[in-house]
Amino acid sequence: MEKKQILAQYMPEAAAPIIARWIDYFQCEFKISRNRATKLGDYRHPFKGAGHKISVNNNLNTYAFLVTTVHEFAHLLTWNDHKNKVKPHGEEWKRNFKRMMVPFIDQQIFPEDVQQAIVSYLHNPSAASCTDLKLSRALKKYDVKHDAISRLEELPLDTVFQIKDGRRFKKGERLRKRYRCLCLDNGNIYLFNPLAEVMLAATGT
């Protein structure tokens, strides 16, 4: 009971019993992790006597937490089936992600817009779920809003913005999936995800 209660603090309550069963069935060490800038979740396969390990960031909204959890369990299932003989987000992983998402879709645990984005993604999962823009955009609607933070795609061209480490950039045009931005501190060009969270910055002199 305690495991389900803890999980229900981070994901939709109706999903917690299913994830708790998966943790027990796969004898998986499941950790709720501090925020990591480079990843939302992580899976580690059994190694030197240790079993499966999954970690998911604690700062995700409940729906993003659940999608990330399913994403990592799909890695676990893929490793059980194929070990490391297939690509991390190849066809085998995509099939397993689709299979493991079914109970949550059937129970309509997600809001309608998120559910539609997941179903659309599952029809043609061309990217890992965490990098699919349509799905990420739907999930981010449920993040806690901070007045000072905007998504890069919402800002006009040539807007000067700042990222967490203090560096300032000028927003450039979009090249395929990313925005070409000039770093005002070192003159280098960087490519940004449209959903990158940034803060407006003064241009200075």
Residue 203 has pLDDT above 60, yes or no: no
Q: pLDDT tens across 124-156, in order? A: 766 666 678 888 889 988 887 766 678 898 899
Contact at 8 Å (CB) between 17 and 4? yes
* Among the listed residues 159, 163, 162, 194, the one whose alpha carbon sits nearest the alpha carbon of residue 179: 194
User: pLDDT at residue 71 above 70?
Assistant: yes
Largest interatomic CA distance in the chain: 60
Supply the Cα-derived Rg of the chain in whole angstroms. Answer: 19
> Average pLDDT in the 24-51 region?
90
Give the HSE-up count for residue 181: Cα atoms under 13 Å, Cβ half-sphere: 28
pLDDT tens readout for residues 148-193: 678 898 899 999 999 988 899 999 999 888 999 999 999 999 999 9
Q: What stretches of the chain show up as alpha helix (H) in DSSP? A: 2-7, 16-25, 62-82, 91-106, 112-123, 133-140
Share of residues in the chain with pLDDT > 90 (%)? 60
Q: Which pLDDT score, from 0 to 100, does residue 25 have?
A: 96
Alpha carbon separation from 110 to 45, 94, 115, 188 (Å, rounded): 29, 20, 5, 41
Q: Which of 14, 10, 49 is nearest to 33 (CA)?
A: 10
- Domain residues of the chain, as ranges? 2-140, 149-200
Q: Please give the C-alpha separations between residue 102 and each of 70, 118, 165, 168, in angstroms, as whole numbers.
A: 10, 10, 39, 43
As given in the structure block, the two tokens for residue 148 are: 């000072």
